[in-house]
Structure 1
Amino acid sequence: MIPIQTNDLLGQLDALDHLSILRRIGEIADSIQLEAYVVGGFVRDVFLQRTGQDIDIVCVGDGMLLAQAVAQHLDNVPVTLFKRFGTAMLTWQGLSIEFVGARKESYTADSRNPAVAAGTLLEDQTRRDFTINTMAVCLNQARYGLLLDPFQGYQDLVDGLIRTPCDPYITFSDDPLRIIRAIRFATQLNFRIGEETWNALVSARNRLAIVAQERIAEELHKIVAAHKPSYGFKLLFEAKVLSRILPELEKLSDKEEIEGYSHKDNFIHTLEVLDNVAHHSSKLWLRWAALFHDIAKPLTKKFDPITGFSFHGHENLGAKMLPYLFRRMRFPTNKEILGYVQKLVRLHLRPIALAQEVTDTAIRRLLYEVGEDLADLFLLCRADITSKNKSKVQQYLANFDRVEARVAEVEQRDQMRNFQPIITGEVIMQAFGLRPSPQVGFIKEAVKEAILEGKIKNSYEEAFRYMLMIGEQYGLQLPKH
């Protein structure tokens, strides 16, 4: 990714038609005698020719005053004022524009929330996290398009470098969330982290204890969503940050050799699976499922002097670990997200096992359990086939092709993907005149099992007849009318 030249910046801004708003903001700032600049991530992304929808405007003076003047000029669009923070925000043609007065900050040791005071533009640039986010472009007409880059942020874009504008030890100590943000930006942009910045980042990692878990989760999601997310998790591991925020993942790296037997580095394998999934899907929680699919291997590892290492049951234990892990990480715990990830972790070995013995019964059970997430499960399973031996990988993938074809055949014939037991508890109670009881559950389960085993077809008539037969075994009969 090669940034555009600095002398092309003005043309790049003017080429983006919807950004005529920038010139208008500059004109309005002139009319009320304020200096105005577009700063930060938006400027960075213009140089990288990436489209951004969030624009940060810094003015030397009252940012809320400028926001209100701009809102009035734009036919009185709504503007939200955050008086406590001295900021304001409005939306214009899909753009989110935030206004703030230039400020300087000071921190205390027990909080990452700074004390704020009015400052100069340079002080505002100095307080920012990384040099690539410090660049400012003047919007006032006399200097429109002028780049103010006191910390050589543009050169760091060219060099692919993440570094801080001032002492990195102070930067990370003041706001330790920047530790993970540095790794996140390096991952998103495929940049390296400067040596001094890296050393400071590592030394300050214990300061993460003062950061809200929700903010850490936001940054991790952005790493997981990157083009090659493994890069970020390798950096987190090498910085000894992963052991603080996700020790379950860090423990996957424990590789052992006994009596000539060894097992693969499950951390490296997990990152390969993550990248494989990311290559084919942008689904955030499918990527998280890839990260968590082997999470319980360290807890299930056993050694046998004849067969070597095994991890039996890691898929089930991994699924059971996830509710606690999600709560600790402040991830959503609803069925749509947590339930989805649990399902994929619990079932990730099932389709691969089918390659050894593909039975219609096993396929029906898989289809019943996975439901609408079959394609995602298959993608995870394919991604899980990793080896340095390329011919071995191709052989496993060919076997999996046959499994997929057979699953598609059974699905088309038996229509099991959205299967729900046709005979409900209500049907059973009404048929036999029963009240809610364990007996009702036994009959319902027997009917479901008969369909999954292929004893009866997935139809109401056959299921109802089978229900009557099971009821007779319990001494039940249809009530006489």
Structure 2
Amino acid sequence: MEKVQLPEHPIFNVVAEAADELDVDAYVIGGFVRDLVLKRPSKDIDVVCVGDGIALAAMVAQKLPHKPKVSIFKNYGTAMLRSGEWEVEFVGARKESYREHSRKPEVEQGSLDDDLKRRDFTINALGISLNKQNYGDLIDEFDGVKDMRRKIIRTPLEPGITFSDDPLRMMRAIRFASQLGFDIDPDTFDAIMENKDRIKIVSQERVTDELNKIILSPVPSYGFKLLFASGLLHLIFPKMVELQGVETINGNSHKDNFYHTLQVLDNVAQVSDDLWLRWSAIMHDIAKPDTKRYSPKVGWTFHGHEDRGARMVPRLFRDLKLPLNEHMKFVQKLVRLHLRPIALVKETVTDSAIRRLLFEAGDDIDALMKLCRADITSKNDNKVKRYLQNFDKVEKRLVEVEESDKLRNFQPVITGEIIMETFGLKPSKTVGELKEVLTEAILEGKVKNEFDEAYAFLLEKGKELGLSVVSNKALSGKGE
């Protein structure tokens, strides 16, 4: 039997001692073994014993020098403890049976063979013995190591049963393929296509969790192409599927916005691990199907897709059970602004246009520029190179204007309170209009964002509106 070298960590020897004292067979199993064989880092250890997993966890905790706390989950028959950076979960070997309308199995005690059979894929149906008499022996009943060498995702049992029992495994198959760069076995993929509608019984939260892991994989487009080919994407994210396809009228065609979006996503993935910047890439053209128009004079247009897309983001986040917080606002902002830097790619760029972009993007300007660079996709390498060189010029101007005017996240020095105090106004439309006029003047470079100059401009605009100054306290105290 093949031997595997376990990491040099006392936890493995302690489990071996405890298992022998309790007279139970214990194994490291699942993802930790897979990652060990693939030489991928992992700190999450699953220990299965043929017996009482909670009792084994308790004895291991007693034997470890730091006596870690054991968290017990009686409903699941599991226990968990931490040893340094390592998280170790203990469970008794079990077998499972499923009902048609639920992915929650009925569980009963079982053998190691039963436990391995219930695993989702052969690469996860691996075990390493921790008992002293056969310490390090690799248990591989379903040729998981061979599948790793072949870079194949395959189910240990008949795939139709595997996916019908727990449909989330279909998402997991594609997630592992995308994370590891593996192929999915043809019979396994056929079973995903046949059982795709079963995904409807899985909670949106669990589906989106797997989707996020696909998005964070090294080449996320691969996972999305598998989702599309299997039909799963049509069920879990139909709005994205609408991007697919090319329409031709009078010989004029537009590009396939689905595959363009995937290219942008891959481009972003090369420069950032930020999940929300990657979501911005996915959403940046999401409204193109809704704004697509054809004109014989100009061809295909998608006017306003950035604003329409930004308005769609909250609903899409809600449908996907993504967080409706600052992450959603970040994606919404980048979708709304993603065409702005491209519009600045000209020989002459006005300072006011640069100021407005800095003002609107704020601290997200760097993320926005990454998205915009990623959005330059063309089969013409010279065209891409030319655009990216122009972006270099825009970024240089952004730095120059930012250093000169300090406009990133700027607030006018004249506040609404100062406006109300100066003219004796209550909160009103007039106050908002004056503040907006002042902000525009600063962005246009007509007025510096310094108190004396801005306040003088305010008095002049107030006079034009027929307002009388009732207090100069703001001027004498400079708003303090």
Q: Could you state the TM-score of these two structures normalised by the residue count of structure 1?
A: 0.96
Distance 1:316 1:428 in 2: 32
Distance 2:88 2:226 in 1: 33
Q: Does residue 57 in structure 1 map to residue 52 in structure 2? A: no
1:278-427 correspondence runs (5 A): 278-334=269-325, 336-356=326-346, 358-427=349-418
Distance 1:479 1:437 in 2: 17
1:56-205 correspondence runs (5 A): 56-74=46-64, 75-205=66-196
Distance 1:475 1:308 in 2: 50
Distance 1:259 1:454 in 2: 47
Q: Which amino acid aligns with 1:341?
A: V
Once the 2 structures are TM-superposed, how far is the Cα of residue 422 of structure 1 from its aligned partner?
A: 2.0
Q: Which amino acid aligns with 1:381?
A: C
Equivalent residue in structure 2 for 1:41, among 21, 31, 39: 31
Q: Could you state the TM-score of these two structures normalised by the residue count of structure 2?
A: 0.96
**CA distance 1:465–1:157, change in 2 (3 Å):** same
Equivalent residue in structure 2 for 1:214, among 205, 213, 217: 205
Q: Which range moved further: 305-314 or 465-474?
A: 465-474
Distance 1:417 1:380 in 2: 18
2:424 and 2:471 in contact (8 A); partners too? no
Equivalent residue in structure 2 for 1:457, among 448, 456, 461: 448
Once the 2 structures are TM-superposed, how far is the Cα of residue 404 of structure 1 from its aligned partner?
A: 1.5
Q: Which residue of 2 aligns with 1:9?
A: 4
Q: Which residue of 2 aligns with 1:224?
A: 215
Distance 1:480 1:239 in 2: 70
Once the 2 structures are TM-superposed, how far is the Cα of residue 260 of structure 1 from its aligned partner?
A: 0.7
Q: Which amino acid aligns with 1:53?
A: K
Partner of 1:253, secondary structure, is coil
Distance 2:467 2:408 in 1: 32
Q: Which amino acid aligns with 2:22?
A: I
Once the 2 structures are TM-superposed, how far is the Cα of residue 38 of structure 1 from its aligned partner?
A: 0.4
Once the 2 structures are TM-superposed, how far is the Cα of residue 273 of structure 1 from its aligned partner?
A: 0.5
Once the 2 structures are TM-superposed, how far is the Cα of residue 474 of structure 1 from its aligned partner?
A: 2.4
- Which consecutive residues of structure 1, in runs of 5 or more, have no partner in the other structure? 1-5
2:152 and 2:185 in contact (8 A); partners too? yes
Q: Which amino acid aligns with 2:334?
A: L
Q: Which amino acid aligns with 1:227?
A: P
2:92 and 2:109 in contact (8 A); partners too? yes
Distance 2:158 2:97 in 1: 14
Distance 2:252 2:471 in 1: 69
Partner of 1:58, secondary structure, is strand
Once the 2 structures are TM-superposed, how far is the Cα of residue 480 of structure 1 from its aligned partner?
A: 5.4
Q: Which amino acid aligns with 1:291?
A: I
Once the 2 structures are TM-superposed, how far is the Cα of residue 187 of structure 1 from its aligned partner?
A: 0.3
Once the 2 structures are TM-superposed, how far is the Cα of residue 236 of structure 1 from its aligned partner?
A: 0.5
Deviations 1:161-198 (A, max 9, x none): 00000010000000000111000000000000001000
Query: Percent of counterpart pairs with the same letter?
Result: 55
Deviations 1:361-405 (A, max 9, x none): 111111000000111111110100011111111111122222212
Distance 1:459 1:36 in 2: 72
